[in-house]
Chains A and B, each alone.
Chain A
């Protein structure tokens, strides 16, 4: 009689190993599918748009994955997209300088991350609830602060415009470059630094981690701040593409990012997942959205599909955990 686990456990172990590779295969299949399904897909312009879209999502996904791995979640990052754009545009319009606007924008993100983190680690409120409350609170705040009227960019700062819309060599979006840099940095952090490994430890088994001298509270707090900080970077890029601070920015964004990360193997229960996997998830999501858009499927349908995918991803994740 086998001692270590049962057949079910073995199956899911094999499935997880298959995961990252399998996802990339799925992404390739989708790529081919859309290439044949729509004449507009395999065009440089479209592909570079896809790359740009993916970059936006991926930057936030990196931060969110870090947070998920250490065992917490943040579903307020969508509302944060709108919030962060406010100080950015306001300062930019007042001073004409993008760089002056970036500072308060990022600080806002850090502040929100700190609040979320403190509420969770010190007041011990469930992170899903805290960030759910923030999700509404921040969105309401943006409606309130802007009167539901977008704030357009009047600074004409060219760098600001280039950030979201510029392309190197005619096809490589600047956003993608930002994404790649951040990606490389964080892959390095997660793999090669004590901090990164501790994030995994705390998410995998906080009690054991505490027993060997780690501080789950401090690590989680830092993860919340990083998550919001990266989400702020996304927000700045988004504001550049929209050329304004829009009160509707980021609606539904948080769920997309979570779904993509979970699909990419970052478990909701913590301790597991890689940025490469998250990237695969984001890639798949991005391809689906782009493909659907090209095949004239409306955003409403995309919302439905996203919802269904979330359920599927979480269900598979839950089942995967049962097998562990």
Chain B
């Protein structure tokens, strides 16, 4: 193989968001004709970097060099014009238009009289598709194609712009094994054309099958860049997680009681495939999984927010009606959603009102809300959880993330629950508040609740869980007890 040249290079790229340092000065280079993997856990900074390269985010500092030349990427248009094509998971296609039109979306080939030159467009599209070995009808409506085929259209679009770098973001999460092979063939063809490919994924067996080099990000920093031929999965995994767990997680709850929640063979149309689990009272079960594993889908399916195609959910022996949230709520289930603002809080309402929402019956006589009793109860939780708010009547959308989360927790603490499902309870929350929330989780278990915590943060997982379930691709791929749990074991199951 002849000497490969560096096509894309980033130096010392840093990016901060309010309260979070997404990238702390990373370097990366992509050679022409190589497939370079970018791996890391959730929140490691991978998607931030590629969004910067796509022109969607602006870097705070650092340099981007394209074929040795310093460039600025101010918009998606810039990025594409330069020859950098990013294929995101949410494909940037116009479903109502044909394949050929999507491939030539920026500029349709025109005839002399300014009308669309369909013949040329179709022929060129066919040429491009042939060059990567695809058999698609250029006039087919993109909305009618499978996800795998749509991905190919995006790649074809890159080629129509003579892209020199193609960045793929978790491309295989929605593909069947056959479609994945097809994708790999296409990527190899791109390689043969001298195009540099940056392949972002957490699926290590794919990385090892397809890629030449791999860079590992962790907590916004580049940890290592290795040649695939000279390393193994174990080394990469160590790079991905290698950190010491320093935060202490308060644990005072002991012993588990009777089985409270029993889930058998739960499947949904889109993601879950026969998930079974059980949780006892006084127990904290941690559920881990990487992006797309199905944790949130599981949480919603158990609670009844999403429909299920098969399976049974039983709470304290009573069978739950699937898909009915009122039924679940009455049966003593509580759910803290991943998306606080979008699904958890009623932003226009006050702190107090958000807290008492599921418990209104307790403070009302014949429908009339006894505001005094309501306020007293809410106030007691504000104190108990140290929620920082000027008053109960303050609109909840003005609170900080951590305090908003506490309000939601207070909401569930206020009710007599049997099971509580917490989906990413400390996401986007500062360290101080995190510890408090972990303490609360401990309290919940102590009080006899069956607690399920979904999290993608390893230290949190290991700290709070009595038992760990690992999910991958809509299935439970591992169950590990607290004593035997190690990060490597968990991650291994997560990428299985």
Contacts and interface: CB of A to CB of B under 8 A. Distances in A.
Interface of A: 1-6, 8, 13, 17, 191-194, 197, 200-201, 203-205, 208-209, 211-213, 271-272, 324
B174 A4 contact: yes
* Most chain B Cβ neighbours within 10 Å, of A8, A13, A204: A204
Contacts of A203: 96
B77 A2 contact: no
B398 to A, nearest CB: 25
B148 interface: yes
Interface stretch (B66-74, B87-95, B193-201): B87-95
Contacts of A271: 94-96
Nearest to B273: A1
12 contacts: A1-B273, A3-B147, A5-B146, A17-B144, A194-B116, A201-B97, A204-B95, A211-B76, A211-B77, A213-B106, A271-B94, A324-B143
Interface of B: 75-77, 80, 92-97, 101, 105-106, 108, 110, 114-116, 118, 143-144, 146-148, 174-176, 179, 269-270, 273
Contacts of A194: 108, 110, 114, 116
A194 B117 CA distance: 10
A204 B94 CA distance: 6
A2 B143 CA distance: 17
A201 B105 contact: yes
A-B interface, 8 closest residue pairs, ranked by CB to CB distance from nearest = A4-B146, A271-B96, A211-B76, A204-B96, A204-B94, A192-B115, A3-B176, A4-B147
Contact of B94 (A4, A6, A17, A209): A209
A205 B93 CA distance: 8
Nearest to A201: B94
A324 B176 CA distance: 20
A119 to B, nearest CB: 26
Contacts of B95: 204-205, 271, 324
Given A6-B269, A13-B144, A204 B97 contact: yes
A197 B106 contact: no
B106 A212 contact: yes
Contacts of A1: 176, 273
B94 A208 contact: yes
Contacts of B110: 194
A271 B143 CA distance: 11
Contact of A3 (B101, B106, B144, B146): B146
A272 B96 contact: yes
Nearest to A211: B76
Given A192-B116, A193-B116, A197-B108, A2 B176 contact: yes
Nearest to B75: A211
Contacts of B97: 197, 200-201, 204
Contacts of B148: 3-4
Contact of B174 (A3, A13, A17): A3
Nearest to B270: A6
A270 to B, nearest CB: 8
A212 B157 CA distance: 12
A292 B446 CA distance: 73
B93 A193 contact: no
Nearest to B101: A197
A324 B270 CA distance: 14
Contacts of B77: 211-213
Nearest to B80: A212
B94 A205 contact: yes
A203 B97 CA distance: 11
A210 to B, nearest CB: 9
Contacts of B80: 212
A25 B96 CA distance: 24
Contacts of B101: 197
A197 B141 CA distance: 13
Contacts of A213: 77, 106
B179 A3 contact: yes
Nearest to A6: B269
Count chain B CB atoms within 10 A of each CB in A5, A211, A271, A324 and give the residue with the most: A211
A303 B358 CA distance: 45
A205 B150 CA distance: 15
Contacts of A4: 146-148, 174
Contacts of B175: 3
B116 A197 contact: yes
Contacts of A208: 92-94, 105
B147 to A, nearest CB: 5
Contacts of B116: 191-194, 197
A271 B116 CA distance: 19
A4 to B, nearest CB: 4
Given A17-B144, A197-B97, A211-B76, 12 more contacts: A2-B176, A3-B146, A3-B174, A4-B146, A5-B146, A13-B143, A193-B114, A194-B110, A194-B116, A197-B108, A204-B96, A271-B96
